[in-house]
Amino acid sequence: MTRRWTPDSWQACEARQLPDYDDKAALAAVTQQLSTQPPLVFAGEARELKRSLGEAGAGRAFLLQAGDCAETFVNFHPDAIRDTFRVILQMAAVLTYASKLPIVKMGRMAGQFAKPRSAPSETHGDVTLPAWRGDSINDIAFTAEARHADPARMLRAHSQSAATLNHLRAMSSGGYANLREVQSWTHAFMNQSPWADRYRALADRIGDALDFMEACGIDPRTQPSLQTVRFFTGHEALLLPYEQAMARADPATGEYFGTSAHFLWVGDRTRFEGSAHIEFLRGIANPIGIKCGPSLAPDTLVALLDTLNPKREAGRITLITRMGSDLIGRHLPPLIAAVAREGHEVTWCSDPMHANVVRTASGLKTRPFDRILTEVKDYFAIHRAEGSFPGGVHVEMTGLDVTECTGGAVAITADGLSDRYHTHCDPRLNAAQSLELAFLVGEMLGQDMRSRASEAA
Ligand code: PEP
Ligand code: CO
């Protein structure tokens, strides 16, 4: 028999990666205050996303999930939000055109603050302090005071998320996202890329399509459907006291929704059976993601699916696989086979970032563009061989011109990384690398769609 779920039932389960708040009264006061703050998203929006993800699961849409590894308080700026949003729209336009599929656009934005860490503490010289766990928990500065977990930071994360989401909503519906603009930004990028010739053909065809539509009287500057985009948000539901405070019952149905974002996922380190994180996600009706790393056994995955999606609702579960370019061939096929054997409907998504981290000789964390690309290529090939649909990609990127991942057309070398290495957490693709990846994924997805169509004919 299934145990009864309540927003706080996770508290009886094993919770990893959560801060140890020493002032319980302060924690209670903050979560109480948070629970009276407005929800950031509505149930109807989360349901709409679930339907769209169901389409991506069935091969009729494709998910693009992209954004920062960790949002921070210090880098909060409207230009940064705009630039990242702009690159995501450009990536989506390329993918739409190449695949002829609707692209479900989701930012790792407006809530991506809490980070799982590989070690609970950090040592410099003879000083050992708690690890930084994301700005909603503590501060990155290496002092005892900064690293102290302060519940009040959750309120600041909430208000920054609300402001970010407001900006995203304004840009999504206020005309900024008009397709003609998106196309002209992409043209500007192409002129700077050494791979321009390779991409020009595709970009020109997108331009031709817009010209043709305009000649027929469909003008992106005036046509609402070409001016607005549906843009969703998602983050790792790591900080459970925060997520619990944001869980609200939908008055219409009584179902609980996590209202901190449209989509919430469980990380690779906290998705074990019986975990507090799985218990929390079990009871909310949002579409949810599970990060699937090489240590996830097929039987464990099936048990998680039975727990999280007992009604086998399409779009409820997105499996975000992050195996590494060297391990995907060994670990992805058995997961796909197990899901198919059990008749679970899921949406598959590739995160080619998190298992492709290497350290340079000087100790910087980086991700070689080639490894990222290899994991995505293998992801497409494996799904093709297994008869499943590669329903999306998940990338860590920024619209800023950083140097954090090596490679790409404007080849960033290991030595060049220190020029503009700004991430607080994992290395991100910069604007040019993100767009290049979109062109390459677009080619793969377009090819995949054409092969499927010719087989079906
Ligand atoms: C992340 O997405 O930032 C992350 C920590 O991923 P994973 O749980 O897959 O390691
Ligand atoms: Co990350």
pLDDT over 60 (residue 1): no
CA distance 395 to 436: 13
Cα 283 to averaged position of ligand 1 atoms, centre (Å): 22
Instruction: pLDDT band for 307, please (50, 70, 90 cuts).
Output: very high
Is the pLDDT assigned to residue 125 strictly greater than 90? yes
Distance, CA 268 to ligand 1 centroid (Å)? 6
Helix (H/G/I), strand (E/B), else coil: 253: coil
> What would the mean pLDDT of 238-258 be, rounded to a whole number?
98
267 lines ligand 1 (CB under 6 A): yes
d(CA 430, CA 399): 6
**Mean pLDDT of the region 61-70:** 97
Amino acid at 161: S
* 228 or 54: which leads in pLDDT: 54
* CA 70–ligand 2 middle distance (angstroms): 7
* Confidence category of residue 138, pLDDT binned at 50, 70, 90: very high
Separation CA 107–CA 310 (nearest Å) = 27
Question: pTM to 2 decimals?
Answer: 0.97
Q: Is residue 268 lining ligand 1, measured as CB closer than 6 Å?
A: yes
The stretch 295-310 carries a mean pLDDT of 98
Question: 120 vs 70, 87, 126, 149, 376, CA distance in Å?
Answer: 17, 34, 16, 12, 31
Query: Ligand 1 in contact with 116 (CB < 6 A)?
Result: yes
Q: Do the Cβ atoms of 431 and 83 come closer than 8 Å?
A: yes
Rounded distance from Cα 70 to ligand 1 centre (Å): 10
Pick the atom of ligand 1 nearest to 394's CA.
Answer: 2
Q: How far apart are CA 70 and CA 117, in angstroms?
A: 12
Is a pLDDT exceeding 60 seen at residue 145?
Answer: yes
In the chain the domains, ranked by start, together with CATH numbers, are: 26-174+229-456 (3.20.20.70)
Ligand nearest to the backbone CA of 112: 1
Report which ligand 1 atom has the smallest distance to the Cα of 322: 9
Whether ligand 1 lies within 6 angstroms of the CB of 271 is answered as no
Known binding residue 221? Answer is no
Q: Is 390 in the pocket of ligand 1 (CB under 6 A)?
A: no
